[in-house]
Amino acid sequence: MDSALPPIPAKRYFTIGEVSELCLVKPYVLRYWEQEFVQLKPMKRRGNRRYYQHHEVLLIRRIRELLYDQGFTISGARNRLSELGARGALPKLDPAMLCDEVEPLDEVAAQHPAVALQAGTRAPATSQRVVHASPETAWLGPDVREVQKASPQAVEQLREALLSIRELLE
């Protein structure tokens, strides 16, 4: 059962039907796995509707791989996830490679300090103000007016750098 899974769209929340399609697992199986794997806890909203976050979709794919592809039992998969942690074994990231990805962001931050400060990136050396993202403000993006002032090349460079960092983290 080694079929290619569809890509996960860039969304914050997924319904059980969407997760079922993304992971090629029936909804009743997902509900059963919620009982068996403590790491899997979707949010429940109106009418007890389940909403899964991106990390939970990745976890479900990992569980699916352990059970269907590697032949683990539920108990064995549960133990394996406990050994690896809920996120699974993350590959070692090369710090030099990450520095290559951050340097273009520093250039954009130097050109557009207001965007950099609101986004929580490092401020240019000329600025004394440093803003750190907190869980309460992490969802805030840069001020749209500041982004609109940025050159299209700077915005595209920032977009490419962020996408490559996202790929490293997935």
Instruction: Give the 3-state DSSP-derived string for the chain, with helices as H, strands as E and coil as C.
Output: CCCCCCCCCCCCEEEHHHHHHHHCCCHHHHHHHHHHCCCCCCEEEHHHEEEEEHHHHHHHHHHHHHHHHCCCCHHHHHHHHHHHCCCCCCCCCCHHHHHHHHHHHHHHHHHCHHHHHHHCCCCCCCCCCCCCCCCCCCCCCCCHHHHHHCCHHHHHHHHHHHHHHHHHHC
**With 90 as the cut, is the pLDDT of residue 37 above it?**
yes
The answer to whether position 7 is within a domain reads no
User: Same structural domain for residues 117 and 158?
Assistant: yes
pLDDT tens readout for residues 64-87: 999 999 999 999 999 998 887 744
- CB neighbourhood size of 62 (10 A): 21
**Interatomic CA distance for residues 130 and 121, integer angstroms:** 8
Question: 102 and 75, same structural domain?
Answer: no
Q: Quick one: residue 138, left, alpha or beta (phi over 0 = left, psi -120 to 50 = alpha)?
A: alpha
Task: Quote the tokens at residue 168.
Answer: 């490293």
Q: What is the pLDDT of residues 97-150, one digit of tens each?
A: 445 444 555 565 566 555 544 445 444 444 444 444 444 444 445 555 565 677
- Name the domain count of the chain: 2
What is the spatial distance between Cα 143 and Cα 138, in angstroms, rounded to a whole number? 13
Least confident interval from 28-32, 57-61, 146-150: 146-150
Q: Answer whether residue 169 shows pLDDT above 70.
A: yes
Residues 21 and 79 in one domain: yes
Domain interval for residue 150: 95-169
Average pLDDT, the chain: 74
Domain boundary residue, one of 84, 110, 134: 84
Is-contact 89 121, C-beta < 8 A? Answer: no
For residue 23, being part of any structural domain is answered with: yes
pLDDT of 26 over the 50 cut: yes
